Structure 1
Amino acid sequence: MTENQMCPSHVTSTVTSILSKVGFEVYPFKIGWYNEQVQKVFALPYPEDTLAFIVISTPEMFDKAFKPFIRRQACTGVRDPIDECMMHQFSLIKQAFPEGEAETIHDFEMHPNRRPKVLVQTAGHVAGAAYYYQASDVTGNPWGDKKIYGVSVHPKYGGWFALRGVIIFRNVLYPDLARKEPPDVVSTSSLRQELLHRYNHNWQDWSFRDIVPVTQKYSEEQMLYFITPPKDRQELLKKIVGEDQVY
């Protein structure tokens, strides 16, 4: 690949073409945007203009990426099947560029001290993919000193999506990348309070995902998979894709 082919527009179109056809969306951002929003311990060690992408899985990922991955018997059983599928999809990006150019960090990756390697909700926010709502977005701090976890909401999918990780192109600088603010779809303080209440206290019923109208949500099959305890998912996969297709 020539130096010209490593220009930001080529990188963006290549990453998008690989992932969009199997149910993912990618949004570019600059490392500096992310680093200025996180504590120093979470900062990523690259120049501020370094090009990166946040990758989200849409409701279509289950049918377009996950089930075909299982049918190919590509899952080894070493990790959670969804995680293995994400590792496979990210590896395709690495293979499309010169060795070492693309670094990937998954949402489930941790340092030895259990600190996340990347804060995907912050990355999603600065990339303009999904607004990351936190307690500070609610007027009057109704929770006091109680720990309230934030949650991201997508303008099309509400909460029916997942932030899967980031891809960093260590040698691609994009100083002219225009910053796009994430759509503030939960626009009132009272609705934000309701969102965070649902997410923190009733997350099992998934009602937080429908805090705003959505264009698409998980299929019944996909919902069943995610609510099934991990220890029972292998048996469920046999029913979904066929017993002879599961590791």
Structure 2
Amino acid sequence: MEPRVAALERGVRSALCDFGFEVSPLKVGWYNAVLQPSFHLQYPKDTLAFVVLSAPSMFEKAFKPFVNKQLLKKMNDPVDQCVSYHLSLVKESLPEHRVDIIYDYEILPNRKPKFLAQTAAHMAGAAYYYQRKDVRHDPWGEKKIYGVCIHPQYGGWFAIRGLLIFPDVQVPFLEQVAPIDCVASEEKRIELLEKFNFHWQNWSYRDIIEVKERYSEEQKTYFGTPPAERFKLLELKGSV
């Protein structure tokens, strides 16, 4: 990796990794190459971006301190507010660069997502995006089957939070890293997609592989609460 790009990546990591986030570099061209033009990011192909993931530790390292500082505003999701706060700090820490931020929940006027988070994570090598096409003998017939990303350390116990794009940084020589195929067998892939599509509420798809870290019971309770009721949960729990 070029020294200037390595230095920039260190800057992004230093701003995020102590708070339970992980970042993986991506060229816009890698992402655009596997998608229809309607989903393309409107930047030159060699533009540098970083996919931002939250590990299970983000809840303790970033979210709870954010809530305790009483930085919440009762107008959108508390976790989204926390992520926005930390990614905005990255932008402020790099004033010499233009930084465009796209969050996983943002949509265009036509209701399409601003970026396909799981595709971006796969192309950045951060997590493997398992889809129906990855199963040779498809057992689902006419059923709609959605894909899901699995992280080699956290399984499904993580989330893709956003994309940091640096329009003024071109990286033609950046080497692509393939995601780790951690659900390699046909049987396990079918099991994963079955659990994700038909039994996602019981969390079981997240443990499709042996994981090094998963959500705490407190965190599972929080994310298992409907979004509209999460502010009430925070108020009842005080400091969560």
* Matching residue within 174, 177, 180 for 2:174: 177
Instruction: Name the aligned partner's letter for residue 52 of structure 1.
Output: A
Tell me the amino acid that sits aligned with residue 42 of structure 2: P
2:113 corresponding residue in structure 1: 116
Letter in 2 for 1:43: H
In structure 1, how many angstroms separate the alpha carbons of the residues matched to 2:126 and 2:14? Answer: 17
Q: Secondary structure at the match of 2:43?
A: coil
Counterpart position of 1:66: 63
Q: Is the 8 A contact 1:8 1:173 kept in 2?
A: no
> What's the % identity of the aligned pairs?
50
Q: Secondary structure at the match of 1:47?
A: coil
- Structure 1 match to 2:99: 102
Aligned length: 238
Residue in structure 2 matched with residue 237 of structure 1 by the alignment: 234
Aligned to 2:201: 204
- Give matches, 1:1-247, under 5 Å: 7-98=4-95, 101-242=98-239
SS in structure 1 of the partner of residue 166 of structure 2: strand
Q: Which runs of 4+ in 1 moved over 4 A?
A: none
SS of the residue corresponding to residue 164 of structure 1 reads strand
Q: Is the 8 A contact 2:48 2:166 kept in 1?
A: yes
**CA–CA distance in structure 2, aligned partners of residues 18 and 238 of structure 1:** 29
CA apart distance, 1:93 = 1.3
- The amino acid across from 1:155 in the alignment is P
**Quick check: 1:46–1:170 contact (8 Å CA) kept in 2?**
yes
Q: Which runs of 5+ in 1 are unaligned?
A: 1-5
Q: How many Å separate the matches in 2 of 1:74 and 1:37?
A: 39
RMSD: 1.5
Q: Which amino acid aligns with 1:23?
A: G
| Paired residue secondary structure (1:171) | strand
